[in-house]
Chains A and B, each alone.
Chain A
Amino acid sequence: MRNTWLILKREYLQRVRTRSFLVLTLLLPAIMTGLMALPAKLATMGQKAQHIVIVTSSPQLGEIVRQQLLATPTDDEEDDANGADNNAKQKHEDQYIVDVDANPTEVERAALRDKVSQRSIDGYLWLTDDAIAARKITWYSREMMPFRERSRLSETVSRVLQQQELSNKGMTPAQADQMLQPIKVQPVRIEGGHEAKGSGTGRLLEIVVMVMLLYMAVLFYGISVMRSVLEEKTARIIEVLLSSASSTELMAGKLLGVGAVGLTQILVWAVMAGVVALPSLATQPNLSDLAIPPSVMAAFALFFLLGYLLYSTMYATIGAITTTEQEGQQLQFLIVIPLVLSVFMLMPVIRTPDSAAVVWMSMIPFFAPILMYARIVVQTPPLWQIALSLSLLIATVWGLLIFCARIYRIGVLIYGKRPNLPEILKWLKYAKA
């Protein structure tokens, strides 16, 4: 116990005191923020106004469509918009230059086609009476995937045409508008007998944050554990250490020490994020959406720690059976595959947290840290399932620790050739005593 503590302390202090730790801890949040903000910024920055020509048989119709396109978006659209899009939507007038062309001839069509090729316009909408009658309106442009344009155009055009048709059938424009108002189904989650506020997006955010953190922690600190095992091997320190402490103590000390470094880093980041984000969060109306109940926090801490232990133990083993970092990285897929699989299975978990497949998947220890946690957040599963999943996870971590300590004990003294599976099994037998 004392030895474990000493090794833990050494690992921790040696890491935390380095300059790279300081730099990483302070700079990574800045870099991350930059990386997240950059794509959104780029998306809006590169956008210039789209020059659109509406070719129509009746100029009035073209004018209505033009006005609708330039108008500010309706509530309906705003709902789909997320933060980055928001300010883009507000400036629709800057986004479009719309001309109405009341000359629907083949000659004009050829001319427009040339203009599109020469980039003097971005596209034209073929909205002649014939096209309307045939219900086949075409948008010509250079773009490969003009999703945004097309959906906005078709929405606008169909709304305008429906309004016209309705008013042709004797409705006032107000009545037509009323009728065309889309009806939205408002989702309300019932949680623990109460109606939960908000749409649950905050919940999804919790899952994403957890998965990200676990993923990062495992890859980052797991590799750190592996590297540290390899260092002791290549610098031949291990023999001295083993003459003083048992391999289990060594391994436990190392895992916990590196883990403590990770926790420190995450804690610093959390405080930083809190300081930066709180003022802006306080002004957000749906703050309650983000408030995390203590039970979820506890589940997070528990599954995070166990997940870290599980995966970093595997990393330590890889370090013990290989001699160089390159070799170790080749074996990393053993660790990355279950992680990636759990991420793939997140969607089914969120959609159908009760399905048998999801329930049993979340029992498998290698997936449990992510999937069981996600289930707890999405919809608290029955207690026995949580208990079972947790006990399986703990048992696996424990078993793996013993298994790895044995491999570690023999493996760290073997230099040179990487052992194959039968050899590893033989070590297990040797190390039993």
Chain B
Amino acid sequence: MTGVSKSYGDFVAVDGLSFSIQPGGIYGLLGPNGAGKTSTLRMMIGIIVPDSGQISIFGEPLNRAHKDRFGYLPEERGLYRKMKVLEHLTFLGQLKGLTGAEATRRAQSWCERFELAAWTGKKVEELSKGMQQKVQFIGAILHDPRLIIMDEPFAGLDPANAVALKDVLLELAKKGKTILLSTHRMDQVERLCQSICLINHGRAVLEGDLNQIKARYGRRHVQIKYEGDARFLDEPSLVQSFNDYGNYVEVQLAPGADPQDLLKLASSSARLSKFELMEPSLEEIFIDVVGKPNA
């Protein structure tokens, strides 16, 4: 994706966004609500057309023929309420180019995997929300697409189902499929994704390999467990801010500060039981880069 922009009237949803996804593995598209994630995905699958910029998929400019090679799980789930589960899945599979029989066979086996086998003859409206979501997910991967695009796939799933879904995603990634995960849930991305693109107000703020990003943001956090005088926390040349969690404090180091100096200072006034340099969580990076998301 190169320099892609899209605006609705005066509102700029996506503003000169560029990123690239390597084949294979799970890629995270991150951003706060309204950052332009869904618009980006919709442009990638050709539902909406960018005002400017280029989108290439599998090395060629996006065209209609690509539609059968990706699977899309939209944020707003949608199924025909009056259709039976198996019929519905078959229909979706056929739209993606499968034969009716093949689509039915695959739908059946996926339903077994997701413990939906008893429900295949039921109408969609009789299913619980979580089950509908699983049906929707199956619909997106039924045709074994090379690129799977998922908008908030875990929203609304209970923990057990979320784990089942995660397992399938990892399994598909291992098979060499490319999975694009769009979400504002940092913890999921942190656990699943190899690379990310963080967007805000339609622009890419951070992009690249997750480990490298974390390394770049460096070990700027220290977790300290102590007894005694907490004066060392007030040293402005070393401590930019801290968060007292009761059992321990988490300290963000001031720019250029050496953690060793803080250790010396702290040990001079208090008894330390723990002093650990922390890898920043994606959430911290996110807040750091984006600023506190406004409600």
Contacts and interface: CB of A to CB of B under 8 A. Distances in A.
B81 A240 contact: no
Nearest to A238: B78
Given A243-B45, A413-B48, A14 B83 contact: yes
A235 B68 CA distance: 23
B139 A240 contact: yes
B82 A244 contact: no
B80 A14 contact: yes
B127 to A, nearest CB: 13
Interface in A229-249: 231-232, 235-246
B74 A240 contact: yes
Contact of B47 (A2, A235, A237, A242): A242
B291 to A, nearest CB: 28
Contacts of B96: 244
B91 interface: yes
B75 to A, nearest CB: 8
Contact of A232 (B42, B47, B72, B78): B78
Nearest to B143: A244
B224 interface: no
A241 B82 contact: no
Contact of A236 (B42, B78, B139): B78
Contacts of A92: none
Nearest to A235: B78
B129 interface: no
Given A239-B74, A413-B48, A433-B49, A244 B80 contact: no
A3 B68 CA distance: 11
A32 B50 CA distance: 53
Given A6-B94, A244-B95, A239 B76 contact: yes
A433 B46 CA distance: 10
Nearest to A13: B87
A431 interface: yes
B72 A243 contact: yes
Given A6-B94, A10-B91, A244 B67 contact: yes
B78 A237 contact: yes
Nearest to A249: B95
B132 to A, nearest CB: 11
Contacts of A240: 72, 74, 78-79, 92, 136, 139-140
B124 to A, nearest CB: 9
Interface string B83-100: 100000001101111000
Contacts of B82: 14, 18
Contacts of A232: 78
B79 A237 contact: yes
Nearest to B76: A236
Contacts of A2: 97
Contacts of A239: 42, 47, 72, 74, 76, 78
B91 to A, nearest CB: 6
B77 interface: yes
Contacts of B67: 243-245
A1 to B, nearest CB: 12
B72 A430 contact: no
A430 B49 contact: yes
Interface string A323-352: 000000000000000000000000000000
B64 interface: yes
B278 to A, nearest CB: 40
Nearest to A410: B48
Nearest to B82: A14
B65 to A, nearest CB: 12
B47 A413 contact: yes
Given A244-B96, A413-B47, A237 B72 contact: no
A330 B1 CA distance: 42
A48 B236 CA distance: 109
B95 A3 contact: yes
A245 B97 CA distance: 10
A236 B94 contact: no
Contacts of B83: 14
A242 B64 CA distance: 11
B81 A235 contact: yes
B40 to A, nearest CB: 14
Contacts of A433: 49
B80 A235 contact: yes
A6 B95 contact: yes
A417 to B, nearest CB: 11
- Which has the most chain A C-beta neighbours within 10 Å: B45, B78, B96? B78
A430 B92 CA distance: 27
A244 B49 contact: no
A245 to B, nearest CB: 6
A7 B46 CA distance: 19
A389 to B, nearest CB: 35
Nearest to A431: B49
Interface in A243-267: 243-246
B97 to A, nearest CB: 8
A236 B77 contact: yes
12 contacts: A2-B97, A6-B94, A231-B80, A235-B81, A239-B42, A240-B78, A242-B45, A243-B67, A244-B92, A246-B64, A413-B42, A430-B49
| In the A-B complex, the 6 residue pairs with the closest CB atoms | A236-B78, A237-B78, A236-B76, A243-B72, A244-B95, A239-B74
Interface of A: 2-3, 6-7, 10, 14, 18, 231-232, 235-246, 410, 413, 423, 426, 430-431, 433
Given A238-B78, A430-B48, A433-B49, 18 more contacts: A6-B94, A7-B95, A14-B83, A231-B80, A235-B78, A237-B78, A237-B80, A239-B42, A239-B47, A239-B78, A240-B72, A240-B74, A240-B79, A240-B140, A242-B45, A243-B67, A244-B96, A413-B47
